[in-house]
């Protein structure tokens, strides 16, 4: 590429550089002003920064839009409805028409969804595992809103009780993933494609109420004289998938209750 820069071009470039320098100075002044206003809320700011996906900028937005006094809300459900991160309820004559989230506080909702997207990238956290489990069944947007709701619920209790963020960890998802491992052992275990008599009750009792191998589960009687029945590999994979989905749904039900 050939060309030359003349004096007029240098003049125009200097104007653009001066504008960039002016904008950077304005941003520095605004950040300093925000830091001064956040000094009385240093404790709440420190609590917010412990939450996965929440940095200094998002913490400032949350404090500015939400405040730190949770006594103005009767419950965490009312807070979620005010923020606009709860499912809508439009039901008439027994027919559910729409479940779109309410409008709520637009600025706070955007900040929470942005925090949810960042939390989905934080490895080794409960919010990341929960996000990808919901994304597989409900889609990306609904999963992001669900994680934003969980973050808001955590912030409500952190501000109300003045406690630090406690990550539940990955214990529950690990239990759900490890539970059907005996069926995914592969050909090396010597049972691929075969089902023994002792596993008949386990693989036939697939459901939400009895998704794990527990001695309290009511199992059908097994005849000891029946030979092992051959199961094609594709059906075996389907049984394992159904059992895993049942476990995940049950865990989601427990999480919603608690």
pLDDT in tens, the chain (258 residues): 567 888 888 999 999 999 999 999 999 999 999 989 888 998 888 888 888 888 888 999 999 998 888 988 888 888 988 988 887 666 677 777 667 777 888 899 999 999 999 989 988 888 999 899 989 988 888 899 999 999 999 999 999 888 888 887 654 544 444 444 443 444 433 332 333 343 433 333 333 333 344 444 444 444 444 555 556 666 666 777 777 778 777 777 666 665
* pLDDT of 28: 92
Query: Per residue in 63-114, pLDDT tens?
Result: 999 888 898 888 888 898 898 888 766 667 777 766 777 788 889 999 999 9
Facing residues of 194 across strands?
Answer: 230
Burial 114-129 (b: 16+ CB within 10 A, else e): bbbbbbbeeeebbbbb
Whether residues 77 and 177 share a domain: the answer is no
* pLDDT of 151: 92
* pLDDT of 229: 58
Whether residues 134 and 222 share a domain: the answer is no
Whether residues 186 and 71 share a domain: the answer is no
- Does residue 22 belong to any structural domain of this protein? no
Contact call for residues 138 and 126 (beta carbons, < 8 A) = no
Whether residues 252 and 140 share a domain: the answer is no
Range of the domain at 96: 38-161
* 161/49 Cα distance (integer angstroms): 16
* pLDDT of 232: 65
* pLDDT of 88: 66
* 59/43 Cα distance (integer angstroms): 12
In 3-state terms the chain splits into helix, strand, coil percentages (rounded to 5) of: 65, 5, 35
Query: Per residue in 137-148, pLDDT tens?
Result: 888 888 999 999
- Does residue 17 belong to any structural domain of this protein? no
- Does residue 26 belong to any structural domain of this protein? no
Number of domains in the chain: 2
Tokens 């049972």 correspond to: 191
Whether residues 180 and 155 share a domain: the answer is no
User: Considering 161, 181, 212, which residue would you say is the last residue of a domain?
Assistant: 161
* pLDDT of 250: 76
* pLDDT of 23: 94
Written as one string, the DSSP assignment of 216-243 is TS------TTSPPEE--HHHHHHHHHHH
* pLDDT of 186: 42
């Amino acid at each position: 590429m050939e060309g030359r820069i003349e004096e007029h071009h240098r003049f125009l470039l200097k104007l653009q550089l001066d504008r960039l320098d002016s904008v950077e100075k304005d941003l520095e002044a605004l950040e300093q002003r925000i830091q001064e206003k956040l000094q009385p809320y240093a404790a709440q700011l420190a609590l917010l920064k412990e939450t996965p996906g929440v940095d200094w900028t998002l913490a400032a937005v949350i404090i500015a839009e939400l405040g730190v006094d949770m006594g103005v809300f009767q419950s965490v459900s009312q807070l979620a409805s005010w923020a606009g991160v709860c499912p809508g309820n439009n039901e008439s004559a027994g027919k559910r028409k729409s479940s779109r989230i309410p409008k709520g506080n637009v600025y706070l909702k955007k900040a929470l969804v942005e925090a949810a997207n960042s939390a989905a990238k934080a490895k080794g956290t409960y919010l990341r595992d929960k996000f990808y489990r919901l994304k597989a069944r409900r889609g990306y947007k609904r999963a992001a809103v669900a994680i934003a709701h969980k973050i808001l619920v955590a912030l409500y209790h952190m501000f109300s009780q003045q406690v630090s963020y406690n990550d539940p960890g990955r214990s529950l998802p690990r239990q759900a993933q490890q539970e059907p491992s005996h069926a995914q052992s592969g050909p090396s275990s010597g049972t691929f494609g075969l089902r023994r008599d002792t596993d008949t009750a386990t693989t036939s009792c697939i459901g939400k109420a009895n998704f794990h191998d527990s001695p309290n589960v009511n199992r059908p009687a097994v005849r000891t004289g029946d030979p092992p029945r051959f199961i094609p590999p594709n059906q075996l994979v389907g049984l394992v998938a159904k059992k895993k989905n049942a476990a995940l749904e049950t865990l989601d039900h427990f999480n919603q209750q608690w």
